[in-house]
Amino acid sequence: MAHVFKAESARANPSTKEIAMTITSIPARRITSQSLQPVRSLAHSCRTPRASRVLLPAIAVLWSAFGVLCSTAVQAQPSSLATANISSPSSFVTPEFRANWGLGVIRAQDAYAMGYTGKGVTLGIADEPFQFMHPEFANRVQWPSPIPAFPVPGYEVPSHGTHVMGLAAAARNDVGMMGVAFDTRLSGVIAVPAAGYPFPQDWAQELVDAGVSVMNGSFGPPPAPPMFFQDGSYNPNYQVIDFLALSPDQLDAYYESINKLAKADIVMVFAAGNESEVQPIASQIPAGYGMFPLITPDNTRAGALYRVITDESDRADPSSWEFIPLTDPDLANADASEFQGALITVVALDQNNQIASFSNRCGAAAAWCMGAPGVNLLSSVPMSTYGFKSGTSMASPLVAGSAAVLRQAFPYMTARQIIEVLLTSATDLGDSDVYGHGLLNLGRAVRGPVEFGSNPIFAATFDVDTRGYHSVWSNDISGPGGLRKRGAGVLSLAGNNNYTGDTTVVSGTLAVNGSIVLSDLEVLAQGTLAGSGTVGDTLVRGTVSPGNSIGILTVDGDFLQTAGSTYRYEVNGTGESDAIRVTGAAVIEPGAILKVQPLADLELLREYDVLSVSDTLTGNYTVNGPDYLFLGQRVGLSASNNRVLSYQVARNGVQMASYAQTGNQASVAQAIDSQGPGAQPFDSLVSVTSAAGLPAAFQAFSGEIYASNQAILLANNLALSRALNNRIQDSFLANPQMSRQSGIGRVNSDTIAWLDVYGNSERLAGNQNATSVSANGAGMLVGLEHALSPALRLGGVLGWNQTSAEASASKARTNAYQLGVYGAADLGRARLSAGVTQSWYEVDVNRTISAGYGTPAGSGASSSLSGDATQVFADIGLPFSFSANHTVQPFWNVSQTWLRMSSFNETASFAGLKGDASQNASGFSTLGVRLQSDFQASGATWSTSAMIGWQRGWGDLTTTSTLGFQEGGDAFTIRSAPMARDALALEFGIGATVNQSTKVMLVYSGSFGAGTSSQSLQAQMQWKF
């Protein structure tokens, strides 16, 4: 609306008295019907000092007229907080809480237990000057800045504003009392003058500039006419009138302030006034700002609630009042009804929830009026202490503090919606002309709206934009109105609601976990319906997603889902799935999508309910499920019930092995495929939607380490025969007294004991069948040999070796125990040596199964198995000397090994394997030349040796293991990475004869071919006897 009256309607130079009446707002305080002297003393203890009556005589008169009932300030003692457990309402009911008796009446503890304390909200108080440095407001005042000095020396200390601020928001600090919104930020602006302090400016604009979202105004005009003047004298012109006397400047001021605050989306709360004992008829409606929305053309013409007098009229003398004629266009057209629902006016209640004797009533303003405790309330007062006061001034901040709590609980709601929730959630006290909506009930308000469309000052449809928040309304909502949900975020309705207006989901998610059975529901294209509650007739153009994960949504009525809409369908492997149960008929238009979202692997061929009806079922969904590689999907009528649509998955024709990258992966994939439902790892892999990880999964399940370790053991046997050949060659070539005639060495001792300590490593390169494998080991050999004749030697050996092989996140640790015999014969121009060894194995295998696809975290398997190997070997050489210290020996050696491993069963947490007993055999021959030289140095005889040769392999160069899954399926064969068929063999050694009986040697051996390698380093010591 425009200004109620044009600015020129006021006189150019109004008197001080007129300024006080029309511009300055006076605290809404109670005047008692006690004797004159008590009234004067109370006013003096809580009012402006005498100096102000000299400076502002009109203000002094108005101040006295409104009065206050307050006690002498009392110093509160600290109280003990409850235990740190704040999960229940009772934990907040401490001595500090009880000191403000209004908190328990409005059920503030219920809000606190839900975590709502006003945190993050800025609450503004418009009043007289404040003690911002009161401990109850420490570190929370954000306006004004800097904080002004208080008190002003030489002037009376105002206390009203500090008391009001404390009731709204005093801290929870274990001292004195606490306010409703004890976690809010605070802003205080001067709206009521006090002598010696800055004169009020545009207090409403200051609140806007301070960024408040809730404001409290516990001030208003004095009664007109007053019963007593400020000095305590009786007003001889006093009379009871039956209407409120308003002035043009007063109405202009109301409009200017309220309009600014409304445009800034600020929740406005105003005290209703304390005029009942002075003007018992006129006070049947609120005074001041709280009555302003009653200004309408109809009410103006009726003249029953208010009348407008000229600014020149003396408000204290009704005989001087000049009424502005109803024909005045500004008056006739004045309409403030747009602000109905933009503010709350508050009446005061006593401890029995009865209207306070001094309080104005709600009357014609009942639609935006409510009651709150306002008698004998303890709160903060200067200086840093506490005192009791009564008045609607005290009731109003309880509502404002509650509004701040709601703005935290529902940060997406507009100011009008916060007001609607506060009003409609109030506890009914009976006569609405007295109590309006009733008693403030914060414990109920924080649970959301209670009524839609019942109060004509609010829109019939509660149109809310949740702005990305997730919010729960748990009250039971009634009324003829409806709900419109907009914006991102989730709004959950948890109550058993019976409002009858339409419900529309424009965007975001509406989760119905209670019921809205009496409301017709429409979900638009950008909206989502969720929850496990009950809805009425439902039309889905957007998305329906039953449950809050998996759940059942009940439609108590008919259900229609249009083309292009989506049913977001969750299902797990335990038989649980989303479902819609319709008590009426259901129509699924062609093009409606069933968007399947599995939460776990599904049971094949099982029918999962999608939608059931009690009446007719028309249409079907188009499945848009995961892009399963190995499953097909269908939705259709259940085989057992033609009123149920069900979803089913079944194995398609794609073979798992088609995604394998090696022969071993193909073998295990075929075995997994043969398992079928109910076995692992089939159940983990059959539901995959991406091929990217399948080769790694097949590899993890393959057990390739069992075959690869056998190849390592065969390679270790070759290294064993090579070590013994080195020992035999040294027996002949190490004799410093070599025969130059024949080139054949002779030993000078009948018996030699020797010790060989070695380390070895093996690496087999991967191929199209298997991944690479590497191994490291260490061991020792202890031998004893004896010369039966100058041309014949025999020996025996005992050995131990430990090898650790790794392949594809699996490890095999093998302990080997060895026994062997060997011999060598001098045949003249040739030398022949041969031997046989027997090895016994204890193998421990540990596999890490990190295949993904539902494999439990930390899955693994282990087994223990045994085995043995038999090896025979022979070597023939043709040594000749081309000097006294140098020997060349062409040679050819050959070895054959037969390896046998036991069966096994893994101990596994997931997808364990079992293995059959296996046999593998391989042989190797080497054709090459050996070189040996002796020399003297540092008083010792040194020998060096070298060998180079071509190594050829045959037999089971690729070893195999036959495995199977313990949970069933076909057996499968796993092949190792191959040992080299052709390889370069090298050897280098150096030794020294320490004395006549002791010799030490160091020998490196290696073979290399086709990405494989076998290397060892031996340290040997021998003693001659």
Determine the Cα–Cα distance for residues 49 and 195; give it in Å rounded to an integer. 7
Same fold, 16-220+260-293+338-448 and 705-1024: no
What are 226's two structure tokens?
Answer: 């007053």
Cα distances from 928 to residues 732, 879, 952, in angstroms, run 18, 12, 11
Q: Report the amino acid identity of residue 810.
A: S
For 982-1015, the pLDDT digits (tens) are 999 999 999 998 888 899 999 999 999 988 999 9
* Least confident among 87-101, 692-706, 931-945: 931-945
Determine the Cα–Cα distance for residues 329 and 212; give it in Å rounded to an integer. 36
Packing angle of the helix pair 392-409, 415-424 (nearest 10 deg): 120
Fold of 705-1024: Lipocalin (2.40.128)
| Domain spans, the chain | 16-220+260-293+338-448, 453-651, 656-698, 705-1024
DSSP strand pairing (219-220 vs 470-473): unpaired
Tell which residue, 525, 496, 488, has the closest CA to residue 512. Answer: 496
Determine the Cα–Cα distance for residues 704 and 810; give it in Å rounded to an integer. 8
Q: Largest Cα–Cα distance in the chain? A: 159
**Regarding predicted confidence, which is higher, 218 or 848?**
218
Determine the Cα–Cα distance for residues 772 and 711; give it in Å rounded to an integer. 11
The pLDDT value given to residue 849 = 85
Q: Cβ distance 869 to 860 under 8 Å? A: no
The pLDDT value given to residue 749 = 63
Determine the Cα–Cα distance for residues 798 and 820; give it in Å rounded to an integer. 7
pLDDT band for position 884 (cuts 50, 70, 90): confident
Active-site residue set: 127, 160, 393
The pLDDT value given to residue 853 = 67
DSSP-derived letter for residue 90 is G
Q: Report the amino acid identity of residue 840.
A: W
Whether domain 16-220+260-293+338-448 has CATH 3.40.50.200: yes
| 60 backbone dihedrals φ, ψ, rounded to 5° | -60, -40
Query: For residue 87, is pLDDT > 80?
Result: no
For 602-647, the pLDDT digits (tens) are 788 899 999 999 999 999 999 999 999 999 999 999 999 999 999 9
Query: For residue 734, is pLDDT > 50?
Result: no
pLDDT band for position 760 (cuts 50, 70, 90): very high
SS (H, E, C) 501-564: CCEEEEEEEEEECCEECCCCEEEEEEEEEEECCEECCEEECCEEEEECCCCEEEECCCEEECCC
* Least confident among 40-44, 132-136, 534-538: 40-44
The pLDDT value given to residue 854 = 62
| 455 backbone dihedrals φ, ψ, rounded to 5° | -100, 120
> How remote is the C-alpha of 625 from its chain's centroid?
26
Question: Is pTM, for the whole model, over 0.85?
Answer: no
Question: In this structure, is the dihedral angle defined by the CA atoms of residues 127, 129, 131 and 132, taken in order, positive or negative?
Answer: positive
Tell which residue, 932, 895, 874, 1023, has the closest CA to residue 744. Answer: 932
Query: For residue 3, is pLDDT > 90?
Result: no
What are 166's two structure tokens?
Answer: 């404390």
